[in-house]
Amino acid sequence: MQKVGIDAGGSLLKIAFQERGVMHYKKYPISELESAISWLKAAAPNIMAALTGGKAHILQERFFPSGTIIPEFQATCEGVRLFLLEEGRKTPDPYIIVNVGTGTSWHLVDGEKYERILGSGMGGGTFMGLGMLLTNESDFYRLSELAVTGQKENLDLRVKDIYESDAPPINGDLTAANFAKGLSVKHSPSDRMAAVTNMVAETIMLLTLQAAAIHKVKEIVFIGSSLIGNPSLTKTLETYMKMLGLQSTFLKNGEYCGAVGALLSI
Ligand code: ATP
Ligand code: MG
């Protein structure tokens, strides 16, 4: 292990390194930054580090004074490019990367060029934060599990709830207002997580639709830790993309795009 790529984001620390030709990945809550880096430095004291993410400068100051900082959006897009190639996919061109991290950001990739085109505060941090407030659970996997069995209809007001017996002018199953049923219908922690998941997915879907239309793109690549081990969020996004006629790819190691992209740059 001579080189390492580290992506220190708002929620998680992602580490990628190669050993005997094989890529290894690790991730830790950002609150465990100190112990994770101590492990790495003990295992490889003279390692060359490529640092990216919002906390890259903190890592450089505290642990890797000779580490190289790679701009986050560059690292992300380079990582996606590599994973698409590794998965044997003909790289679609142009395409939009949707990075569902703590928040969500959109990047337009066209050949060698990439550009961040959009951002939203709706993301994995919303899933965690609202999830905690509404269920008293704080574990990501537990919240993801709850979301799978919940009924969002117990909280979300649908178009057909407003039109009742009248024929609605648009698809009655569409959401008229997220969480609008409030306390009027009985709901469980699972139902609340399903509604949180749907609100995040719907917001991402609507923004992706507009970005895709403006930039005339049909291919969407989803990455970010919020989607890993979170089948409800992933499936909802997948369904919405199909509904819009957009082609979607969910990268297998998509949470490590930043770390791998940084590693590639040194
Ligand atoms: P950003 O890029 O926005 O600065 P980040 O790089 O830390 O943040 P990601 O690691 O891509 O973002 O995703 C963070 C999200 O992943 C969390 O908000 C949460 O929804 C989800 N997540 C997945 N696994 C965990 C975990 N073990 N602990 C906490 N959150 C997790
Ligand atoms: Mg990130």
Q: Over the stretch 19-57, which tens digit does the pLDDT of each residue have?
A: 999 999 999 999 999 999 999 999 898 999 999 999 999
Q: 141: buried, middle or exposed (CB in 10 Å: 19+, 13-18, 0-12)?
A: exposed
Tell me whether strands 48-52 and 3-8 are parallel, antiparallel or unpaired. parallel
Could you read off the pLDDT of 195-251 as tens digits, one per residue?
Answer: 999 999 999 999 999 999 999 999 999 999 999 999 999 999 999 999 999 999 999
* Probe target for ligand 1 pocket from 226, 232, 253, 260, with the most ligand atoms within 8 Å of CB: 226
> Which amino acid residue places its CA nearest to atom 21 of ligand 1?
226
Could you read off the pLDDT of 49-66 as tens digits, one per residue?
Answer: 999 999 999 999 999 999
Confidence (pLDDT) at 27: 97
Confidence (pLDDT) at 89: 78
Residue 92 confidence (pLDDT) above 80: no
> Which amino acid residue places its CA nearest to atom 9 of ligand 1?
101
C-alpha–C-alpha distance, residues 25 and 14, integer Å: 7
What is the CA(207)–ligand 2 centre distance, in A? 19
Reported pTM: 0.96
Confidence (pLDDT) at 26: 97
SS3 167: coil
Tell me whether domains 2-87+256-264 and 120-250 share a fold. yes
Strand runs (DSSP E) across 224-266, as ranges? 247-250
Residue 80: band (very low, low, confident or very high) from pLDDT cuts 50, 70, 90? very high
What is the CA(17)–ligand 1 centre distance, in A? 20
C-alpha–C-alpha distance, residues 236 and 242, integer Å: 10
The class of domain 2-87+256-264 in CATH terms is alpha beta
Q: Domains of the chain: which residue ranges?
A: 2-87+256-264, 120-250
What is the CA(250)–ligand 2 centre distance, in A? 16
What single DSSP character describes residue 179? T
Query: Quick one: angle between helices 72-86 and 257-264, nearest 10?
Result: 100
What is the CA(187)–ligand 2 centre distance, in A? 33
Residue 257 confidence (pLDDT) above 90: yes
> Which CATH architecture fits 120-250?
2-Layer Sandwich (3.30)
- Cite the active site residues: 72
Could you read off the pLDDT of 101-154 as tens digits, one per residue?
Answer: 999 999 999 999 999 999 999 999 999 999 999 999 999 999 999 999 999 999
List residues near ligand 1 (CB under 6 A). Answer: 9-12, 29, 53-54, 101-103, 124-125, 127-128, 140, 224-226, 255
CB count within 10 Å of CB 108 equals 20
C-alpha–C-alpha distance, residues 84 and 260, integer Å: 12
